[in-house]
Structure 1
Amino acid sequence: MPRSAPHPHRPRRATVTALLLAAALTAPALAHATPVAAPAGGTSDRELRRALADLVAAPGGPPGAIAVLTRDGVPRVYRAGTAEVGTGRPPRIHDHMRIASVAKAFSGAVALSLVDRGALELGDTLGQRLPHLPEAWHAVTLRQLLQHTSGLPDYSRTARFQAIVRADPRHRFDSRRLLEFAAGEPLAFPPGSRYAYSNSDNIAVALMAEQATGRRYEDLLKELVYRPLDLRDTSLPSGFRLPRPFLHGYGTAPGEAPEDVSEAVSASGAWASGGIVSTPADLGAFFGGYAGPALLSPKTRHAQTRFVPGESQPAGPGANAAGLGIFRYTTRCGTVLGHTGNTPGYTQFAAATRDGRRTVTVSVTSQVPLDPALQVRLRATEERFVCALLEDGHGGKEPHGYGADRK
């Protein structure tokens, strides 16, 4: 994998701080946004390209966007804008990018693969696996962590964590101690009683995987996910640099020049919850295997796809529901399984049909959810691409009993 340049551009600290604070303040409200329907029709190649171009051209829109529809291994690529402002270089499917909370699906893949191997059970508790964590958290199960029904307080929203990031966005955290920031806080609700998205959940999932195997999470990713699915351009860095080539991510605002924030923040503060770097090509291949039958056993997939009401962050297209490390997106054209994510400079949506033969990724180079109007436009665009993926009527509807909501 190509190495980063040794002296990357350092963005203005004020820009980075504003992005981080805005994300912390707006994420809960956006998580409950009303689902948006895309206009009927408009799934031709021309309309799909126009939808991306309109998103890039909107006030405060991302400088670049790339979407990939893949059917039976054959990709169709749509792009708008540029991979780097001032160069004219178009976004490409092998450009690296931060996938933000889509990384949570990868931690789900690791944990569920270990369930298949008998190293973990969905009923394993934090008290059994990680007894050093606060006793009040001990009853939380792996299943609840993967489904965001644990009640764990979110370490990334604590005052102490945010103060460190504001002072130095590139601060290198000890990723395995991130939960200590929230250790003095009680559970938000009794485990399993309701849904609430928390970045702490997937940190705990990775720590349980390490405890069960005696191996580093990064090595488990390689063995259980990257190699089986032939992901050659996916990694979990601990610093702020990105491998070349990459899609540059920007802070944007109407009437202002985009500010490059690609390498503004250390991945160590997100780790298993949001630190993975990948490419549009690898992201589609991952969901083809993870949402499809290639990676997990039928029994584990059945557990994975028992859903509860709950939206990903940011909300994906259509109506959202939460499974184990995966979300169900029910659109006017049918259903796909996947995940979303956003971080300074990037917003992601990636999903697949349940047979894994069709995948869709939509990647844009700004943190779109910070602008509610732009987020509405993005969700409508994502639904257009889902409809294009399912337009011939195959793969969009779930058979009876598949992916039913948990009672």
Structure 2
Amino acid sequence: MQLTRPRLRPLLAVLAAASVLGLAPAPAQAGQAHDDARLQRRLDELVARADGPPGVIAVLRHGSHRETLRAGVAEVGSDRPPRPTDHMRIASAAKAFSGAVALGLVDRGLLGLDDTLAERLPALPAAWGAVTLRQLLNHTSGLPDYSSSSEFRTIIQADPHHVFESRCLLDFVAGQPLEFTPGSQYAYSNSDNIAVALMAEAASGSRYEELLRTVVYRPLDLRQTSLPQGYRLPRPYLHGYAVRPPAAPEDVSTQFGASGAWASGGIVSTPDDLVRFMGGYAGGRLIGPAVRRQQLTFVDGASEPAGPGRNEAGLAIFRYTTRCGVVYGHTGNTAGYTQLAVGTPDGSRSLAFSVTSQVNQSGTPELLAELRDIQEDFVCALLAD
């Protein structure tokens, strides 16, 4: 579907600076300027909540042009605003990257969407053997979630910086059967994207980290995106916080290492790189039309956390149908960070929306409802005439 272009004004940057510095914004002119002021006000109100994140940044991209809205601070105790070049954990938005790798290999004929775990990874439990790459990518595999296993959680609680052998994460649930017949229902599982990366390695003979560089980073010119093993973040970075009022926000930016998330959520990026990636990924730039048609076959299912509007799951991509139109993308949440990255179907416009606390249905349902409403407003700005 062809969507019309947005009219995003330089006023966004002025309003953002006014919010950070505590200055009164200039009076709205009319029309779009008034809408921009409303978006800024919504961000200000979000960080002003007792349970709100210390910082939020939204980058809206139209071609080579970018506009930034932000509120709060990049680090509690400072006056430094969040910046598009700040590093951050992108959490489960990393699943779009593993999807990009796998679909890129499918496009090259090295993998097939109906290839099974038994064919590509025969060392995994035989009971999982019928699961296909397609089912892993749209979360209909039935694989038990390794990150929910008691053994995995015990290790993390005892040593948050524990370095896991990322390629062995599925061992935590290797003794468990599938949770349902593959393809019969939707259930979001972190195990799915671990298996996706392992299939990509088996098919290509290359390590997943190298596949990210050759299949994703270089074609899209992502220069500040990486998949670390440790807990440190490149500087400068957006500090992520655990917000539990009335206690002061606790900095958890480096509380956990990335090795226990790996292909399901370990990537570190910046708002600038994330918005660039999602423009290319949502627009189908990395794959040909035949694979693209397969990717955009959707089933009912929400990302984690749910994104704006109605959520449906494709192959490592979600369709968000809002009151203003459709965008494709992915969300994510982890300790200290919550992410939304979406793009238009033609890839000409994209949005990265990042907050510096963990927001999800199980922990902060009221805050998530407000966040999704704000995100929908930003999607509408992205799609506006």
Normalising to structure 2: TM-score of the pair?
Answer: 0.90
The answer to whether the aligner puts 1:125 opposite 2:120 as a matched pair is: no
Q: Give the match's secondary structure for 1:268.
A: coil
Q: Give how far 1:86 is off.
A: 0.9
**Residue equivalent to 1:188:** 179
Q: Name the SS for the 2:259 alignment partner.
A: helix
Structure with more contact order per residue of length (Cα contacts < 8 Å, sep ≥ 6): 1
The code of the aligned residue for 1:180 comes to D
CA contact (8 A) 2:231 2:258 kept: yes
C-alpha distance after superposition, 1:253-307 (max 9, x if no partner): 2221111000000100000000000000100110111111321101111100000
1:391 partnered with 2:358: no
2:89 aligns with one of 78, 84, 98: 98
Q: Is the 8 A contact 1:56 1:64 kept in 2?
A: yes
Task: Identify the residue that residue 56 of structure 1 maps to in structure 2.
Answer: 47
Task: Decide which moves more: 246-255 or 106-115.
Answer: 246-255
Partner of 1:6 in structure 2? none
Report the alpha carbon displacement of residue 245 of structure 1 after superposing the two structures with TM.
0.5
Q: 1:346 aligns with which of 291, 313, 337?
A: 337
- Post-superposition Cα deviations, 1:352-382, rounded to whole Å, max 9, x if no partner, equal 0010000011100000222111111100010
The worse-fitting range, judged by mean Cα deviation, of 317-326 and 47-56 is 47-56
Q: How many residues align?
A: 352
> Once the 2 structures are TM-superposed, how far is the Cα of residue 136 of structure 1 from its aligned partner?
0.4
Q: Distance in 2 between matches of 1:189 and 1:66?
A: 39
- Say whether the 8 Å CA contact 2:305–2:359 is kept in structure 1: no
Query: Gapped runs of 5+ residues in structure 2?
Result: 1-31
Deviations 1:149-203 (A, max 9, x none): 0000000001110110111111100000000000011000000001000000000
Q: Structure 2 matches for 1:6-405, cutoff 5 A? A: 44-369=35-360, 370-392=363-385
- Does structure 2 retain, via aligned residues, the 8 Å contact 1:43–1:384? no
- Distance in structure 1 (CA, Å) of the matches to 2:311 and 2:317: 10
Deviations 1:192-219 (A, max 9, x none): 0010000000000000000011110000
Distance 2:370 2:104 in 1: 36
Distance 1:292 1:60 in 2: 35
* Counterparts of 1:293 and 1:250, CA distance in 2: 34
Q: Secondary structure at the match of 2:219?
A: coil
Q: Hey, what's the Cα distance between the residues in 1 that align with 2:172 and 2:310?
A: 33
The superposition leaves residues 317-346 of structure 1 with CA deviations (integer Å, 9 ceiling, x where unpaired) of 000000000000000010100000000000
Q: In structure 2, the residue corresponding to 1:44 is in which secondary structure?
A: helix
In 2, Cα distance between the equivalents of 1:73 and 1:288? 11
**Unaligned 5+ residue runs, structure 1?**
1-40, 393-407
Cα deviations by residue, 1:67-102 (Å, 9 ceiling, x for unpaired)? 011112211100000001111100000100000000
- Cα distance in 2 for partners of 1:71, 1:228 equals 19
- 8 Å CA contact 2:241–2:252 kept in 1: the answer is yes
CA distance, structure 1, for counterparts of residue 197 and residue 73 of structure 2: 35
Counterpart CA distance in 2 for 1:44 and 1:326 is: 29
C-alpha distance in structure 2 between counterparts of 1:301 and 1:287, whole Å: 15
Q: Distance in 1 between matches of 2:364 and 2:312?
A: 23
**Distance in 2, Cα, partners of 1:96 & 1:45:** 25
Change (3 A) 1:42 1:132: farther
CA contact (8 A) 2:88 2:238 kept: yes
Query: Which amino acid letter does the alignment assign opposite residue 266 of structure 2?
Result: G
> Aligned to 1:162, what secondary structure does the other structure show?
helix
- Alpha-carbon separation, structure 2, partners of 1:254 and 1:165: 24
> SS of the counterpart of 1:56?
helix
Q: Give the CA RMSD over aligned residues.
A: 1.0
Distance 1:321 1:268, change over 3 A: same
Report the 3-state secondary structure (helix = DSSP H, G, I; strand = E; otherwise coil) of the residue aligned with 2:220.
coil
Q: For the Cα contact (< 8 Å) 2:137–2:192, is it kept in 1?
A: yes
CA distance in 2, matches of 1:174, 1:42: 51
Q: 2:205 and 2:159 mapped to 1: Cα distance?
A: 32
The answer to whether the 8 Å contact 2:194/2:264 transfers is yes
C-alpha distance in 2 between matches for 1:87 and 1:245: 13
**1:314 and 1:341 in contact (8 A); partners too:** yes
Q: How has the CA–CA distance of structure 1 residues 377 and 302 changed in structure 2, closer, same or farther, with 3 Å as cutoff? A: same
Q: CA deviation at 1:43?
A: 7.4
Counterpart CA distance in 2 for 1:102 and 1:210 is 20
Q: Is the 8 A contact 1:65 1:81 kept in 2?
A: yes
> Does structure 1 retain, via aligned residues, the 8 Å contact 2:328–2:345?
yes
In the superposition, the TM-score normalised over structure 1's length comes to: 0.85
Output the amino acid matched with 1:310.
Answer: G
State the match for 1:3 in structure 2. none
Q: How far apart are the structure 2 equivalents of 1:172 and 1:42?
A: 49
